[in-house]
């Protein structure tokens, strides 16, 4: 159960550049830049529930089974179907506009999203 836990954003790299590549408006980029997003992960074997809780109460929740097609939701609420895979100890998923990986490193949740040559990295520290 390596991923199970509750994590809060501790640092980000290339946030602004990544959000601009995805064509988010400046006010949304500004609002999210220092947001303390909390990610809750529940893992039961190959089944995951992955929730991101944003300040103000907005929650994005994805439930998926490794190697099975699942309905997912993007940061901006768009629904899509994807097959989430494991690559070694990383969870890998192709969202409509970007490639996303998640892994646990030194007890932290490390998420990397890549689009248009820009890699956005978010490191979240475990809370529980």
Question: CA torsion, points 104, 112, 15, 24, in degrees to nearest 10?
Answer: -130
- Give the integer Cα–Cα distance in Å for 56 and 38: 12
> Is a pLDDT exceeding 80 seen at residue 76?
no
Average pLDDT (121-125) is 97
Question: CA torsion, points 39, 45, 48, 53, in degrees to nearest 10?
Answer: -20
With beta carbons less than 8 A apart as the criterion, state whether 104 and 1 touch.
no
pLDDT value, residue 101: 96
Is the pTM here over 0.85, yes or no?
A: yes
Query: What is residue 21's three-state secondary structure?
Result: helix
Query: Which helix H or strand E contains 15, and what residues bound it?
Result: helix 15-21
Domain 5-126 belongs in CATH node 2.40.110.10: no
Where are the domains positioned within the chain?
5-126
pLDDT value, residue 128: 65
């Amino acid at each position: 159960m390596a991923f199970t836990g509750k994590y809060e954003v501790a640092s980000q790299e290339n946030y602004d550049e990544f959000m601009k590549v995805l064509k988010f408006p400046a006010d949304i980029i500004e609002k999210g830049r220092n947001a303390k997003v909390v990610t809750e992960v529940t893992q039961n074997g190959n089944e995951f529930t992955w929730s991101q809780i944003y300040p103000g109460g907005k929650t994005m929740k994805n439930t998926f089974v490794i190697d099975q097609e699942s309905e997912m939701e993007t940061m901006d609420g768009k629904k899509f179907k994807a097959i989430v895979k494991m690559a070694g100890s990383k969870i890998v998923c192709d969202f409509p506009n970007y490639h996303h990986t998640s892994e646990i490193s030194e007890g932290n949740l490390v998420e990397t999203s890549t689009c248009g040559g820009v890699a956005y990295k978010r490191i979240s520290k475990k809370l529980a």
